Amino acid sequence: MPDDVSPHSPARQSPANMPAPLISARPNAPLAGIAAVPGDKSISHRALMFGALAVGRTVITGLLEGEDVLATAAALRAMGAAIERAPDGSWRVDGVGVGGLAEPDNVLDLGNSGTSARLLLGILATHPFTSFVTGDESLRRRPMRRVTEPLSRFGAQFLCREGARLPLAVTGAANPVPIVYRLPVPSAQVKSAVLLAGLNTPGATSVVEPEPTRDHTERMLGHFGASVVVEPEPGGGRRITLTGQPELVAAPITVPGDPSSAAFPLVAALIVPGSEVTIANVGLNPSRTGLFTSLREMGADITYQNERIAGGEPVADLRVRAGALTSADIPPGRAPTMIDEYPILALAAACAHGRTVMRGLAELRVKESDRLAGIAEGLARCGVHVTVEGDDLLVEGDGGPPRGGALIATRLDHRIAMAFLVLGLAARDPVRIDDARPIATSFPDFVPLMTRLGAAFRAGT
């Protein structure tokens, strides 16, 4: 069996109960080429959900076909929406209309997808039937109270394990009442869950967020014909008000490349000397570009080319050139625009000169794993001086490549896995991750894409 990993390697075909370790080492030449990353995961989830709740056929182009999104598709099929992949690679969703979903015959298993779980609970909260929801080991550890609490105010009933964790049962409200909900902390998932519950609720449902978060839900509600009003709040927040029980009308969706996935080849190109890579068709929604802003503050050479609008979302091609990075102080207010990108930003900081401080990262503790702990532990194993002070992460870089040479526990977390594979491309000694299987949840073609750019991963033992 060859060492280099291909799309048909053990990393892609291992039995479900067998870990697939991978080793990443310095390539023989700079990274180069043009890459197209998978469709945006956040938009893909929402496109399927709104297509299922609309009247008519929605055609989705560029849908991410990772495990998380496929779990959303399967759950919606189980409730009566017709969803299929066309021969040309597009997806067709024949919707049932707002309030038209049916009670599923079986448990809804959402795998590793926290987005699927939280947003679908919003939909289920105002459908008058009982559903049972579960997920994999990682998802069953993640707290759901942040959505079950506001959704209960509509009249939904939840029967949960301690900490409102999956598996749980939800009985949707037969006569839901609209609410005004103030987010205690910024969260696009909680905001979206409340708005999705408000879709099948008469009257106006409002969410007040203390800081702007990802606005894909608001944009897509408008795209499908709902009445949504976004107003500024004193202090910089926003109030989003949805008029309930609209007739959503099927509309085509083009999903741009996911900026969270683009982050990995982008940072790889920055830290492997001499590299120049173009990443095509990346979504530049202002609520998602915190990583690019932060890297530019660190001196990264990132250029936006061919800027345009696609499916209501700003899009561009990103040209990235390797170069020296310096430290930065990343403010807590930027966290909502890059919460999934902190693992890879921390790896860039390890290759920068000086101390980079990333503030306000409490949300990282309740992602697919405790990412704050996972980042700190992995970097320390690779010889990087890193500390956690409360909810802040401090990474000391000396401007050169980190030592590397460590085995990294991925904790079933796709972003931890990909981040440390990227670090191995710059580290002095190869970096090994214990399991590459979680990568398929968001970026199933990560290994072949990076290989085409010049990376050389090999199967571990």
Instruction: Say if 400 falls within a structural domain.
Output: yes
Asked if the peptide bond before residue 167 counts as cis, ω within 30 degrees of 0, the response is yes
Contacts of 2 (CB under 8 A, 6+ apart): none
Higher-pLDDT residue of 310, 210: 210
Instruction: Say if 362 falls within a structural domain.
Output: yes
Q: Convert the pLDDT of each residue in 109-164 to its tens digit.
A: 999 899 999 999 999 999 999 999 999 998 999 889 999 999 999 999 999 988 89
Domain end point (choices 254, 269, 302): 254
Does the structure show a pLDDT above 80 at 351? Answer: yes
* pLDDT (mean) for 322-342: 94
Which candidate, 46, 66, 67, 47, places its Cα nearest to that of 57?
Answer: 47
Instruction: Say if 3 falls within a structural domain.
Output: no
Task: Look up residue 134 and give its two tokens.
Answer: 């579960």
Does the structure show a pLDDT above 80 at 89? Answer: yes
Does the structure show a pLDDT above 60 at 279? Answer: yes
Q: Which of 109, 215, 340, 413 is catalytic?
A: 340
Provide the edge-to-edge strand list for the sheet that holds 276-283.
Answer: 32-36, 276-283, 313-321, 301-310
Residue 40 catalytic? no
Does the structure show a pLDDT above 80 at 15? Answer: no
Q: pLDDT value at position 311?
A: 64
Which candidate, 119, 3, 33, places its Cα nearest to that of 72?
Answer: 119
Q: Grade residue 17 by pLDDT with cuts at 50, 70 and 90.
A: low
Please give the share of the chain, as a percent, with pLDDT higher than 70.
Answer: 96
For residue 289, give Cα distances in angstroms to 6, 174, 301: 31, 40, 15
Q: Please measure the distance between the N-terminal and C-terminal CA atoms of the chain and give it in whole angstroms.
A: 13
Q: Grade residue 16 by pLDDT with cuts at 50, 70 and 90.
A: low
Give the largest Cα separation in the chain, rounded: 64
Q: Grade residue 3 by pLDDT with cuts at 50, 70 and 90.
A: very low
Q: Say which CATH number the domain at 322 has.
A: 3.65.10.10
114 and 224 share one domain: yes
152 and 297 share one domain: no
Range of the domain at 300: 10-39+256-459
Does the structure show a pLDDT above 70 at 1? Answer: no
Does the structure show a pLDDT above 80 at 410? Answer: yes
Instruction: Say if 4 falls within a structural domain.
Output: no
Q: pLDDT value at position 369?
A: 73
421 and 442 share one domain: yes
Does the structure show a pLDDT above 90 at 407? Answer: yes
206 and 326 share one domain: no
For residue 252, give the 3-state DSSP assignment: coil
For residue 284, give the 3-state DSSP assignment: coil
Kindly report the CA angle at 439 between 436 and 444, in degrees rounded to 5?
115
Pick from 16-20, 165-169, 424-428: least confident: 16-20
Q: pLDDT value at position 6?
A: 33
Provide the edge-to-edge strand list for the sheet that holds 392-398.
Answer: 329-330, 353-358, 392-398, 385-389
For residue 381, give Cα distances in angstroms to 35, 343, 396, 415: 31, 15, 14, 17
61 and 148 share one domain: yes
Dihedral of alpha carbons 321, 324, 325, 326, sign: negative
126 and 151 share one domain: yes
Instruction: Say if 2 falls within a structural domain.
Output: no
Q: pLDDT value at position 5?
A: 34
Does the structure show a pLDDT above 70 at 13? Answer: no
Q: β-strand 276-283 against 32-36: which pairing, if any?
A: parallel
204 and 327 share one domain: no
Q: Which run of H or of E encompasses 131?
A: strand 130-134
Pick from 106-110, 161-165, 207-211, 392-396: least confident: 161-165
* pLDDT (mean) for 1-9: 32
Instruction: Say if 379 falls within a structural domain.
Output: yes
Does the structure show a pLDDT above 70 at 4? Answer: no
| CB hemisphere CA count around 138 (13 angstroms) | 20
Does the structure show a pLDDT above 70 at 12? Answer: no
Dihedral of alpha carbons 134, 136, 138, 139, sign: negative
Does the structure show a pLDDT above 70 at 2? Answer: no
Domain end point (choices 254, 288, 322): 254
* pLDDT (mean) for 429-437: 96
30 and 171 share one domain: no
246 and 357 share one domain: no
Domain end point (choices 254, 282, 317): 254
Does the structure show a pLDDT above 60 at 10? Answer: no
136 and 175 share one domain: yes
Could you give the number of structural domains in the chain? Answer: 2
Q: Grade residue 11 by pLDDT with cuts at 50, 70 and 90.
A: very low
278 and 294 share one domain: yes
Q: pLDDT value at position 461?
A: 67
Instruction: Say if 82 falls within a structural domain.
Output: yes
Instruction: Say if 5 falls within a structural domain.
Output: no
| CA pair distance 176, 200, nearest whole angstrom | 8
454 and 324 share one domain: yes
* pLDDT (mean) for 405-413: 93
Dihedral of alpha carbons 435, 441, 447, 450, sign: negative
Q: β-strand 313-321 against 276-283: which pairing, if any?
A: antiparallel
